[in-house]
Amino acid sequence: MRWTQAFIPTLKEDPADAEVVSHKLMVRAGMMRKIGAGIYTYLPLGWRTIRKVERIVREEMDRAGAQELLLPILSPSELWRESGRWNEYGKELMRVKDRHEREFALGPTHEEVITATVRGEVRSYRELPLCLYQIQTKFRDEVRPRFGVMRGREFTMKDAYSFHKDEKSLNDYYQVMHKAYSRIFTRCGLDFRAVLADPGIMGGKDTHEFMVLASSGESVVISCPDVECGYAATTDTAIGNPGAPSERIQPMEKLGEVHTPGQKTVEEVTAFLKVPPEKLIKTLVYHAGAKRVVVLIRGDRDVNEAKLQKALGAHEVLLADEATIKKITGAPLGFAGPVKLAASSGEVRIIADKLTIEGIRNGVTGANKADYHLTGVCEGRDFHVDEWHDLLLVREGDKCPNCHKTSLTAYRGIEVGQIFKLGKKYSDSMQATFSDEDGAAKPFVMGCYGIGVTRTVAAAIEQHNDEHGIIWPISIAPYHVEIVPMNVSDAGTMTVADDLYNTLWRNGIETIIDDRDERPGFKFKDADLIGIPLRVIVGPKGLAQGKVELKSRGAKETRLLGIEGAAEEIETMVKKTLDDLSVVR
RNA sequence: CGGGGCGUAGCGCAGAUGGCUAGCGCGCUUGGUUCGGGACCAAGAGGUCGGCGGUUCAAAUCCGCCCGCCCCGACCA
**3-state SS string over A135-165?**
EEEEECCCCCCECHHHECCEEEEEEEEEEEC
Q: Which nucleotides of B are covered by protein (CB under 7 A)?
A: 1-2, 11-13, 25-27, 34-39, 68-77
pLDDT of the residue at A465: 96
* A157 & A191 share domain: yes
Distance A284 CA to B19 C1' (A): 61
Q: Which residues pair with A146 in a beta bridge?
A: A151
Window A180-199, strand B contacts by Cβ < 7 Å: 198
pLDDT of the residue at A512: 98
Distance A36 CA to B63 C1' (A): 30
* A378 & A422 share domain: no
Question: Average pLDDT of A286-295?
Answer: 81
Q: What is the CATH number of the domain that holds A543?
A: 3.40.50.800
Is there a contact between A30 and A45 (Cβ–Cβ < 8 Å)?
A: yes
**pLDDT tens-digit series, residues A62-117:** 999 999 999 999 999 999 999 998 887 878 899 998 889 899 999 999 999 999 99
pLDDT of the residue at A343: 44
Whether A15 CB is under 7 Å from strand B: yes
Name the nucleotide nearest A455; use CA and C1'.
B77
Pairing of strands A558-562, A281-288: unpaired
Range of the domain at A497: 479-582
Distance A146 CA to B60 C1' (A): 30
* A201 & A339 share domain: no
Q: In the 8-state DSSP scheme, what is residue A395?
A: -
This model of the complex carries an ipTM of 0.93
Torsion of CA A249, A252, A255, A256, to 10 degrees: -80
* A61 & A170 share domain: yes
Last residue of a domain, one of A356, A389, A422: A389
* A113 & A188 share domain: yes
Window A329-368, strand B contacts by Cβ < 7 Å: none
Distance A546 CA to B41 C1' (A): 37
pLDDT of the residue at A392: 87
Name the nucleotide nearest A540; use CA and C1'.
B36
Q: Is residue A473 part of a domain?
A: no
Window A477-536, strand B contacts by Cβ < 7 Å: 486-487, 489, 519-522, 524-529
Q: Is residue A403 part of a domain?
A: no
* A232 & A112 share domain: yes
Residue nearest to nucleotide B39 (CA to C1'): A519
Q: Is residue A128 part of a domain?
A: yes
**pLDDT tens-digit series, residues A340-386:** 875 445 567 889 998 889 888 899 999 988 899 999 999 989 998 98
**Kind and range of the H or E element at A264?**
none
Question: Average pLDDT of A202-208?
Answer: 69
Whether A556 CB is under 7 Å from strand B: no
Whether A585 CB is under 7 Å from strand B: no
Give CA–CA dist A368/A347, Å, rounded: 17
Residue nearest to nucleotide B1 (CA to C1'): A143
Distance A51 CA to B77 C1' (A): 17
Question: Average pLDDT of A225-232?
Answer: 87
Distance A14 CA to B14 C1' (A): 18
Distance A140 CA to B69 C1' (A): 19
Is there a contact between A336 and A320 (Cβ–Cβ < 8 Å)?
A: no
Pairing of strands A349-353, A387-389: parallel
* A165 & A62 share domain: yes
Assess whether pLDDT exceeds 90 at residue A300: no
Mapping DSSP to helix (H, G, I), strand (E, B) and coil, where does residue A434 land? strand
Give CA–CA dist A394/A374, Å, rounded: 28
**pLDDT tens-digit series, residues A545-575:** 999 999 999 898 999 999 999 999 999 999 9
Whether A71 CB is under 7 Å from strand B: no
Name the nucleotide nearest A145; use CA and C1'.
B70
Distance A340 CA to B11 C1' (A): 66
Is there a contact between A58 and A135 (Cβ–Cβ < 8 Å)?
A: yes
Whether A100 CB is under 7 Å from strand B: no
Q: What's the domain count of chain A?
A: 3
* A68 & A202 share domain: yes
Q: Is residue A449 part of a domain?
A: yes
Window A294-313, strand B contacts by Cβ < 7 Å: 305-306, 309
* A277 & A198 share domain: no
Q: At A482, give phi and psi (nearest 5°).
A: -120, 125
Q: Is residue A234 part of a domain?
A: yes
At A243, the pLDDT band (50, 70, 90 cuts) reads low
Give CA–CA dist A353/A394, Å, rounded: 12
Whether A321 CB is under 7 Å from strand B: no
Q: What is the CATH number of the domain that holds A273?
A: 3.90.960.10
Residue nearest to nucleotide B13 (CA to C1'): A16
**pLDDT tens-digit series, residues A128-159:** 999 999 999 999 988 888 888 998 999 999 99
Give CA–CA dist A134/A270, Å, rounded: 57
Question: Average pLDDT of A293-301?
Answer: 88
* A374 & A483 share domain: no
pLDDT of the residue at A581: 80
Give CA–CA dist A451/A316, Å, rounded: 27
Window A240-279, strand B contacts by Cβ < 7 Å: none
Distance A15 CA to B23 C1' (A): 21
Name the nucleotide nearest A18; use CA and C1'.
B70
Distance A17 CA to B22 C1' (A): 25
Q: Is residue A101 part of a domain?
A: no
Count of H helices and E strands in chain A?
Answer: 17, 31
Q: Is residue A90 part of a domain?
A: no
Whether A179 CB is under 7 Å from strand B: no
* A379 & A291 share domain: yes
Assess whether pLDDT exceeds 90 at residue A45: yes
**Which of A115-119, A287-291, A419-423, A483-487 has the weakest average pLDDT?**
A287-291
* A63 & A194 share domain: yes
In chain A, % of residues over pLDDT 70: 95
Whether A161 CB is under 7 Å from strand B: no
Whether A137 CB is under 7 Å from strand B: no
**Kind and range of the H or E element at A389?**
strand A387-389
Q: Is residue A548 part of a domain?
A: yes
pLDDT of the residue at A204: 55
Q: What is the CATH number of the domain that holds A429?
A: 3.30.930.10
Distance A548 CA to B4 C1' (A): 54
